[in-house]
Amino acid sequence: VGSRFVEISKRKNFLHYPKQVEFDITDPGDIRNIISSYNFSAVVNFAAYTDVNKAEDERGDKNGTCWQVNVEGVRNLVNAVKPYIERIHFIQISTDMVFSGSKDDPGPYKEDQPIGNELSKITWYGYTKGRAEKVVGGVLGDRASIVRIIYPVRAKFLHKLDYIGKALKLFDEGSLYPLFSDQKISITFIDELCDFLDKIIIANVRSISRRFKRYDNTP
């Protein structure tokens, strides 16, 4: 998602986008140095541990990479941003998977829907992303923004297959079927998300958004 933003953002000539090799969000020193070295007007956190299945192997483990990146990494970022909060708009990219969902209340949800607190009803990845939202709110309050997205897709990206890319590949290989036919989902077109991020950065509008999620299919 972040790589597309640096390609098409209206402000791409003003962006600083460090590679992980020079900027590890689990290292508070790295982060403080970068945040204090530039005159940032916004910091968008696209970084996360995103392998939902692999994250399950670390369920409950706060020393695991998933918790360290998704929660402690975000804590490092917001702590570094806090002294500059009047100038820097911090935007945390989050996910619909912060909601546990239920048959009685399957969504779609409003921005103020309580996120899943019961670990047994939510993926470890979703739980860590939810804890990250709490950390952002706890340290920066409503001066920060949280943007929840779902199934982000883009037209062509060879490094990683997205939700549609995977289905098209299986179709080409003749192995797409059998497939469910009773599910409704909404996806995020990453180009639209980028436009939205540009708008809230330029207008300095700070809040929680679920703009890209009309239906929720989180289990």
Ligand X SMILES: NC(=O)c1ccc[n+]([C@@H]2O[C@H](COP(=O)([O-])OP(=O)(O)OC[C@H]3O[C@@H](n4cnc5c(N)ncnc54)[C@H](OP(=O)(O)O)[C@@H]3O)[C@@H](O)[C@H]2O)c1
Task: Rule CB under 6 A: say whether 186 interacts with ligand X.
Answer: no
Smallest distance, ligand X to C-beta of residue 45, A? 7
Task: Rule CB under 6 A: say whether 93 interacts with ligand X.
Answer: yes
Tokens, residue 197: 């991020």
Radius of gyration of the chain (CA): 18
Task: Rule CB under 6 A: say whether 73 interacts with ligand X.
Answer: yes
* Residue from 61, 40, 41 nearest 49 by CA: 61
Q: Which is nearer to ligand X, 88 or 218 (CB)?
A: 218
Task: Rule CB under 6 A: say whether 24 interacts with ligand X.
Answer: yes
Task: Rule CB under 6 A: say whether 80 interacts with ligand X.
Answer: no
Length of the chain: 219
* Residue from 210, 215, 148, 151 nearest 182 by CA: 215
Q: 170-193: b or e for each residue (b if 16 or more CB lie within 10 Å)? A: eeeeeeeeeeeeeeeeebbebeeb
Interface pick for ligand X out of 10, 12, 62, 160 (rule CB under 6 A): 160
- Tally of CB atoms within 10 A around 211: 14
**Cβ atoms 173, 165 nearer than 8 A:** no
**Cβ atoms 145, 200 nearer than 8 A:** yes
Smallest distance, ligand X to C-beta of residue 143, A? 20
Smallest distance, ligand X to C-beta of residue 174, A? 25
Stretch that binds ligand X, among 23-31, 75-83, 114-122, 166-174 (CB under 6 A): 23-31
Interface pick for ligand X out of 98, 149, 193, 197 (rule CB under 6 A): 149
Contact footprint for ligand X (CB under 6 A): 1-2, 20, 23-26, 46-50, 69, 73, 93, 95, 129, 149-152, 160
